[in-house]
Structures are given as C-alpha cells and as structure tokens.
Amino acid sequence: MKSRSAILTALVILLSMSVLVFSAQAQEGDELVISPQPCAEPGTLTMWVWDENWATIIGNSIELWKTEYCPGAEVELQVQPWGQYWDLLTTNAAGGELPDVFNMSQDRFRFYAENGVLLNLQPYFDEYGVDTTLWGTGLVDPYRWGEAGDLYAAPVNWDTIAIFYNKEMFDAAGLDYPTADWTWDDFAAAARALTDPENDVYGAAVYAEYQAGYPNWIAATGVTPVVDADRTMCTLTEPGSLEALNFLKGLYDEGVMPSVSIMGGTSADDAFNFWASGKVAMITGGSWKLSQAVDEVTFDWDVVQLPKHPETGRSRSIVHAVGYVASARTENPDLAANLILFLASDVGQRFFAEGGNVAPGNPSPELQQLWIDSFGDTGKNIQAFVDATEDSQGVTVFGEIWDAINSEIVVNIFDLDIPVEDAVAQACAVVEEYLVD
C-alpha cells in the first residue's frame, strides 16, 4: 500500500511537471504557447517604448504582471516619441544609463548588439523552457546574434504585407476578385485592365521603398532582398532581384504604375494615400494600415495575399517585428528577463490582440483570431496577413543602408527612368561600402 501511494504521488508530481513543461512549449489545443512564470525576486525596472498606444497596452499588461506574477515589483514605463527615440537611446547608451527594458526594431538591432549594449536573453529562454523556433524565422532571425545564434529579443508584434485592392474598380472593369493562389501574371493582367489613363487612374503602385514595396517581389523569387542574411553581399544584382525589378519596371513603362513624382513620395504611406483617394486600384500595404483603411476608406475594398511567383510558386511577405530587449548593464537581469517573458507570453500578449491594430508576435492561433476580431465585423480578409507570416522574410537591411539606398533606387527606376541594371549597380556600390566596415 505504502509503496503504491508513493508511486502514485511520484506519478502525480511527474505528470504535473510535464504539464509545466508542455505549457511552455505546446502548440495545440488550449495549451499556452508561452506560459508566464513568477519572478524570483521583485525589484524596480525602467522601461521605454516609443508609442503612446503601446504604452497604454503594455502598461495594462505590466499591471497584471505586478499583481499576479511579481508582487512588489515596480516598473517605470516611459514614452520617448519616435522622433527622438533613437537619438535618446544612443546618447543614453553612451552615458551608461539605458532603461532596463526597451523596444528595439530589427533594422537597428545590429548597431546595439555590436556595441555590447544588449542582454543575451537566450539563457533565460532556455531556463524557462521556451523553444525560440516557435516564432518561426522572419520574426526573430534578425534578433539573433553571435556564433550560436542566440536570441536577444522577444517579439512584441508582427507586420506583414498584402495587396489592398479597390473592389469597385474590379467590378467596373468586370474582373473577378483576386484569390491567394494568383500569380504575377494574373496580377499584371489585372493591373493592365484596371488602368484608365483618361480618368487618371492607375492599375497598381507596388514598388514603394523597403518593407511594403519592391523587396517583397524580390523575396518571392527566392532571393533575400538587398543584403543577404550574413550581411556579406549586396543581392540587388542577383538574377532574382533583376527579374523582380524588371517586372515592376515593365508595368511602370506601360503606364500601369504611376511615377514617384506623381504619387508625391517613395513611401508605402504615399502609395496608400494615393490608393485611398481612388487614383490607383492595387497597392502593397502593411497590416499596420488596416485600422486606417477600415476607418477612413470610403470605397469597397479588400486585401489578398501577394501574388505567387510563377516559377517558385511562392508569395513572400517582408515581415517586421518590434522586440523587447534588455540592457546588458541592468542591475536586475533576472527580473528584466522575467518581465520580457511575461510580455511575450500568451497572457501578456492578450492585451495587444484585444487592443487591435497591432498583431501579437506570439503565434497562438487564439491570439491571432482575437486580433482579427478586434477590427469588428469588417468582412475583410484580414486572415491574409496572418497567412503571410508563414513564408515570410525578415528585415535584413540595417539603418544606414536603409537610409542610403532604399528610396534612391525607387526614384532612379520609377521616376528618373534609369535602367534597372544601372540603378542596382549604383545601389550595390553604396551598399558594399557599408558592408566592408
């Protein structure tokens, strides 16, 4: 009897332990993707974010952490507006007074990692039993650093790209609405049919600078856009890049796409505004534009995944994820890591999913559905953005290169009519200067 109860007790303990392990890793059913853990010892942390709305959402999340998981802890949450965020971060890093926890973007990560400013979170993920591959590739790969590819950030959110299209223009042209299995050829045919020079209406505008523009087309050919993953070479002169850019340039030459000057700028926002004013039928747009589109666009519209490349059969969205990182010089590394784990967990991310607008970085299907529902009963195919995370490409271009060539290559090809081959050669010459350092 005695031994049986001992075995039973041991079994119960084992079972409950395995539940603990599973709750951190399980991918199905009602199990959590990432479970929050209680902190070892409360303390005081400072945290910076750059967005007011995020501050509210994260603030609510932190309140829950303080009551349920870390009683006695204090977090001083500050908003440093985007316009000064990076300057302040740099100068504070110089003065050795970084906040304990702060938001990071994929394209700026490298600068801070190189200078040894960030805390390696990998040991904490290991300790908490979080398998970092659960986030896939595009969301976290740009935040890996060092020989072993340690992860230095936990994703806050993700943004993907899809095609926003004007349904009324499709109706007027007698075209069927596009579906997720459409190809570049279908896209080009639709864009031509939708172009109406007499009424100053264009078929498409899909070449915007970085995330919501031309690199998506390059990625679909299988080439990592602009710079390869190791950051050793410029990929714009690769055959895939040339094919994608020449495809877009062909549509521009035919008058199907407007020039940069006509749209007024190279950014995805310029394309979006042009689309929202009814001057173009299809644009590449980010998931961050959904709430604005739902609220402000007056015509009937929908979204569809980017068209598939005819040979590779892939539709690949550029993805970007803001991350939570901790300072390498924090006095409370354990506590900072515990807070980040909580904010990235299913519990902490729920606030983002419910808040709408920002898609939660945690891949839990329940959270993703919550996010889709947060836009209300729109009848729009918002799922297209979630689907786009599957075969996605993380941001490989870092600050200086982004600034140096992204808009310039767009203007050279789609405004100054410089041949694609010359424009990419010129861009690569600049990119390689930065890669040498």
Partner 1 sequence: MRSALLQWLGPTPLSRRHALWGMALVAPNVLGLMFFFGIPVLMAFSTSFQRWNAITPPEFVGFANFRRLLADPNFHQAFLNTLKLLALVVPGEVVLALLVAVMLNQPLRARNLFRTAYFLPVVTSTVAASVVWTSIFQPRYGSLSNLLAPLGLGEVRWLVDPGLVLIPIAVVAIWQRIGFDMVLFLAGLQAIPAELYEAARIDGAGRWQRFRHVTLPLLSPTTFLVVVLAVINGFQIFDQVYIMTLRTVPGGVGGSATTLTYYLYRRAFTNSEFGYASAVALVLFAAILLVTVFQLRIQRFWVYYEAGET
Residue 289 or 316: the one with the smaller Cβ distance to partner 1 is 289
Tokens of 104: 């990071």
Residue 6 or 429: the one with the smaller Cβ distance to partner 1 is 429
Name every residue whose Cβ is closer than 8 Å to that of residue 30 and which is 6 or more positions away in sequence: none
Per rule CB under 8 A, is residue 94 in the interface with partner 1? yes
Per rule CB under 8 A, is residue 429 in the interface with partner 1? no
Cα–Cα nearest to 368, from 377, 356, 359: 359
Per rule CB under 8 A, is residue 415 in the interface with partner 1? yes
CA distances from 95 to 12, 48, 101 (A): 52, 16, 16
Give me the residues paired with residue 163 across strands. 284, 304
Per rule CB under 8 A, is residue 357 in the interface with partner 1? no
**Cβ at position 386, least distance to partner 1 in Å:** 31
Per rule CB under 8 A, is residue 411 in the interface with partner 1? yes
Per rule CB under 8 A, is residue 97 in the interface with partner 1? no
Site for partner 1 in 112-141 (CB under 8 A): 112, 115, 117
Per rule CB under 8 A, is residue 407 in the interface with partner 1? yes
Q: Pick the piece of the chain touching partner 1 (CB under 8 A) from 61-69, 162-170, 309-317, 404-412.
A: 404-412
- For partner 1, the binding residue among 25, 60, 90, 246 (CB under 8 A) is 90
Residue 140 or 256: the one with the smaller Cβ distance to partner 1 is 256
Per rule CB under 8 A, is residue 273 in the interface with partner 1? no
* Greatest CA separation for the chain: 91
Per rule CB under 8 A, is residue 261 in the interface with partner 1? yes
Per rule CB under 8 A, is residue 399 in the interface with partner 1? yes
Per rule CB under 8 A, is residue 408 in the interface with partner 1? yes
**Cβ at position 153, least distance to partner 1 in Å:** 18
Residue 41 or 403: the one with the smaller Cβ distance to partner 1 is 403
E strands, 181-298, in order: 202-205, 280-286
* Gap between the Cα atoms of 311 and 222, Å rounded: 10
- For partner 1, the binding residue among 265, 294, 328, 373 (CB under 8 A) is 265
Looking at residue 325, the DSSP 8-state letter turns out to be E
- Total binding residues toward partner 1, as defined by CB under 8 A: 26
Per rule CB under 8 A, is residue 270 in the interface with partner 1? yes
Instruction: Give SS3 for 422.
Output: helix
Per rule CB under 8 A, is residue 103 in the interface with partner 1? no
Q: Pick the piece of the chain touching partner 1 (CB under 8 A) from 22-30, 108-116, 214-222, 352-360.
A: 108-116
Name every residue whose Cβ is closer than 8 Å to that of residue 133 and which is 6 or more positions away in sequence: none
Per rule CB under 8 A, is residue 25 in the interface with partner 1? no
Instruction: Give SS3 for 7.
Output: helix
Tokens of 111: 């600068």
E strands, 109-253, in order: 144-145, 150-151, 154-155, 157-158, 161-166, 202-205
User: How many CB atoms sit inside 10 A of residue 71's CB?
Assistant: 11
Judged by phi (left if over 0) then psi (alpha if -120 to 50, else beta), residue 355 lies in: alpha
Name every residue whose Cβ is closer than 8 Å to that of residue 18 and which is 6 or more positions away in sequence: none
Residue 37 or 105: the one with the smaller Cβ distance to partner 1 is 105
- For partner 1, the binding residue among 235, 266, 317, 389 (CB under 8 A) is 266
Q: Which residue type, as a one-letter code, is found at position 238? A: E
Cα-to-chain-centroid distance, residue 221 = 20
**What binding mask, one character per residue, do residues 211-250 give for partner 1 by CB under 8 A, x or -?**
----------------------------------------
* Gap between the Cα atoms of 309 and 215, Å rounded: 13
- Please give the residue ranges that form the binding site for partner 1 (CB under 8 A): 87, 90-91, 93-94, 111-112, 115, 117, 260-262, 264-267, 270, 399-400, 403, 407-408, 411-412, 415-416
